Copies of this chain bind each other. A is one copy, B any other.
């Protein structure tokens, strides 16, 4: 019965799934490539998934090493491009030092090393003759780079820098690959020449001998211990005790120190720096979409298979997917997957656009681009993380089983909310730029790009919604406009509040909460606008456009309901209109319900990538659950469990108790007296 459920769902779908797959993956060529990489990950037995909970830490780490080595083999044998290798690692879905080496260390070299330095280091790194990590954060210093304490002091007598960790809070902490693997680290440290502190600069420091992997003198390095997820990675700590490196190991593209100890700043090649930033953020936003899409696939398929309540002796219970409480929580996440994916696709265009402009020395869009990509990172990663956990809840009790794939998916995904910029801090930065842009627009300076609406909306005459019937909310352009009005209203409110404070910075601190909400609203608007833009393109395939329009409406209207207080306060909606929106969403639920299984099939995920008993393509969830309970479960290897003789038999046979040493008890009570009765 369970397997039939998905067959029926697929038969009822009203659109061509393959066409939507191509749209989702951004064109035939990319779709073909990702499918090829997913197939390698799914078929090579080395890439079989491990159970993060059942496996000891040492074995998890070894599994990461093993898979990374296997990926490397595929890359060389198949001559995969960097992009293909990245996609293959994504589908292998087990983090290791290799992710940090390729995604952090090498891009940092490309951005910050001089051409001469790149000629030396890049072939070594790209050939993996050395393995690098990116060592920035310290035990006491995360997001605030200016707070870093590690020092690199220039010693002109030896033409060297001396690295030192002066305090416990200065110990490098978190870098992936650092703990047990990396031979080199790109270390962010405070440059000291003489008595002068020149702030944070990057240095290449060798940590381990290439011959035998032993650590170099003065380098104290290790693994920081177990984490929520990603325990295949050796996140590390690093403490320097007077470690000497050649002067030329400072990355000198942006500034240099001469042999004489003279500090020089160089004109920054902004194009490369900004381009890299946009690419990194595009990857994060695309990953947010993909990670969330996995959870949504599992939850949608299992909700179609699972039945609960209703029914009678001759009628089966109701499919959980039919419950509006389930639809309300699940379908907006399905829509968000598409919204984020189209936003990521737009960022690929943005990258090209930036490159073009910079070639013409046009820096006008930089601040806006920097801000919008930062905000989109914050929005998409936090929605994806919360959405994965929501999907787990939507699978009921079984979502709590590791074999559902959802616990690991959540715990492995979580760090995205912190790395490459902590989300709240990013939102505050976006907020600052929004307020500045608003102030400029008041002075008649036009805003551009994703902030164009700030100057173009007629401020003095903010429109109200004219709808008198629910169906009037099915208006592609109208919804976009509604979110522009909301965002502008929030900006006006914040600007007004901040203007009444002592100074701009004080105002930003005092109204930080409102500013974060304003920035979030602006970023939601961007995703709606990019979804809207996508709908204006030529979208081939039977019924595909209609599905995307429905998802667009749901995405926008769900956000409208979620933030209805804003729309009411801004007097865009009346209470009666807000009620109409709530009713109208039910219409969308019904449309999406018909196509939900096909809409997740369109993500094209293999069973390997999903790694889920509940979400498998065949819908045979209960058989998969039962089989998985027997497989790789050491507790089921013996009938009588380990520990029975020692801890259970004495209790059951009544030979337990009365053996507690009196001294122990006295200690307890002394402790109690000391600790609690003061």
Query: Do A56 and B58 touch (CB < 8 A)?
Result: no
Which B residue sits closest to A574, measured CB to CB? B569
Query: Do A54 and B57 touch (CB < 8 A)?
Result: yes
Subset of 9 A-B contacts with CB under 8 Å = A36-B668, A51-B225, A54-B226, A57-B633, A66-B647, A168-B622, A213-B648, A226-B401, A571-B575
A75 / chain B contacts, CB cutoff of 8 Å: 657
User: Are A635 and B147 also in contact (CB < 8 A) when A226-B53, A411-B407 are?
Assistant: no
Q: Which of B139, B575, B664 contacts A44 (CB 8 A)?
A: B664
Q: Which of B43, B62, B72 contacts A657 (CB 8 A)?
A: B72
Query: Do A400 and B424 touch (CB < 8 A)?
Result: no
Query: Do B147 and A225 touch (CB < 8 A)?
Result: no
Query: Do B657 and A237 touch (CB < 8 A)?
Result: no
A392 / chain B contacts, CB cutoff of 8 Å: 228
Min distance, Cβ A641 to any Cβ of chain B, angstroms: 4
Query: Do B69 and A129 touch (CB < 8 A)?
Result: no
Min distance, Cβ A384 to any Cβ of chain B, angstroms: 14
Query: Do A226 and B672 touch (CB < 8 A)?
Result: no
| 8 Å CB interface, A99-114 against B | none
A349, CB-defined interface residue at 8 Å: no
A407 / chain B contacts, CB cutoff of 8 Å: 227-228, 411
Query: Do B512 and A325 touch (CB < 8 A)?
Result: yes
Which B residue sits closest to A561, measured CB to CB? B565
Query: Do B633 and A225 touch (CB < 8 A)?
Result: yes
Q: Which of B40, B328, B656, B667 contacts A73 (CB 8 A)?
A: B656
A516 / chain B contacts, CB cutoff of 8 Å: 325
Min distance, Cβ A190 to any Cβ of chain B, angstroms: 12
Query: Do B569 and A510 touch (CB < 8 A)?
Result: no
C-alpha spacing A676/B25, complex, angstroms: 13
A537 / chain B contacts, CB cutoff of 8 Å: none
Q: Which of B140, B397, B625, B657 contacts A418 (CB 8 A)?
A: B397
A492, CB-defined interface residue at 8 Å: no
Query: Do A44 and B513 touch (CB < 8 A)?
Result: no
Q: Which of B58, B173, B513 contacts A328 (CB 8 A)?
A: B513
Q: Which of B40, B141, B630, B635 contacts A61 (CB 8 A)?
A: B635
A51 / chain B contacts, CB cutoff of 8 Å: 225-226
User: Are A227 and B402 also in contact (CB < 8 A) when A39-B669, A61-B643, A626-B237 are?
Assistant: yes
Which one of A175-183, A459-467, A480-488 contacts B?
A175-183
A272, CB-defined interface residue at 8 Å: no
Chain A 647-678 per-residue mask, 1 if CB under 8 angstroms from chain B, else 0: 11111101011111000110111011001111
A550, CB-defined interface residue at 8 Å: no
Query: Do A142 and B308 touch (CB < 8 A)?
Result: yes
Query: Do A325 and B401 touch (CB < 8 A)?
Result: no
Q: Which of B325, B418, B626, B669 contacts A400 (CB 8 A)?
A: B418
A628 / chain B contacts, CB cutoff of 8 Å: 225
Size range of the interface on A? 35 or more
A74 / chain B contacts, CB cutoff of 8 Å: 660
- A sample of 15 more A-B contacts (CB under 8 A), given A57-B634, A393-B417, A407-B411, is A36-B669, A44-B664, A53-B231, A58-B642, A65-B646, A69-B650, A72-B657, A77-B665, A139-B622, A142-B396, A181-B641, A181-B648, A225-B401, A234-B641, A569-B578
Min distance, Cβ A558 to any Cβ of chain B, angstroms: 11
User: Are A656 and B227 also in contact (CB < 8 A) when A181-B648, A396-B418, A397-B418 are?
Assistant: no
A659 / chain B contacts, CB cutoff of 8 Å: 73, 77
User: Are A641 and B180 also in contact (CB < 8 A) when A400-B228, A411-B407 are?
Assistant: yes
A308 / chain B contacts, CB cutoff of 8 Å: 141-144, 147
A415, CB-defined interface residue at 8 Å: yes
Query: Do A668 and B44 touch (CB < 8 A)?
Result: yes
A317, CB-defined interface residue at 8 Å: yes
User: Are A415 and B400 also in contact (CB < 8 A) when A129-B654, A407-B228, A569-B568 are?
Assistant: yes
A131, CB-defined interface residue at 8 Å: yes
C-alpha spacing A39/B39, complex, angstroms: 56
A57 / chain B contacts, CB cutoff of 8 Å: 53-54, 633-635
Min distance, Cβ A176 to any Cβ of chain B, angstroms: 12
Query: Do A668 and B39 touch (CB < 8 A)?
Result: yes
C-alpha spacing A402/B169, complex, angstroms: 19
Query: Do B78 and A665 touch (CB < 8 A)?
Result: yes
Q: Which of B127, B317, B565, B640 contacts A147 (CB 8 A)?
A: B317
Query: Do A402 and B225 touch (CB < 8 A)?
Result: yes
Chain A 563-588 per-residue mask, 1 if CB under 8 angstroms from chain B, else 0: 01100110100010010001000100
Which B residue sits closest to A179, measured CB to CB? B635
Which B residue sits closest to A576, measured CB to CB? B569
Min distance, Cβ A494 to any Cβ of chain B, angstroms: 12
A656 / chain B contacts, CB cutoff of 8 Å: 69, 72-73, 76, 128
A142 / chain B contacts, CB cutoff of 8 Å: 308, 396-397
C-alpha spacing A215/B56, complex, angstroms: 29
Query: Do B643 and A62 touch (CB < 8 A)?
Result: yes
Query: Do A234 and B72 touch (CB < 8 A)?
Result: no
User: Are A651 and B69 also in contact (CB < 8 A) when A139-B622, A324-B509 are?
Assistant: yes
C-alpha spacing A521/B518, complex, angstroms: 26
A122, CB-defined interface residue at 8 Å: no
Chain A 395-417 per-residue mask, 1 if CB under 8 angstroms from chain B, else 0: 01100111100010001001101
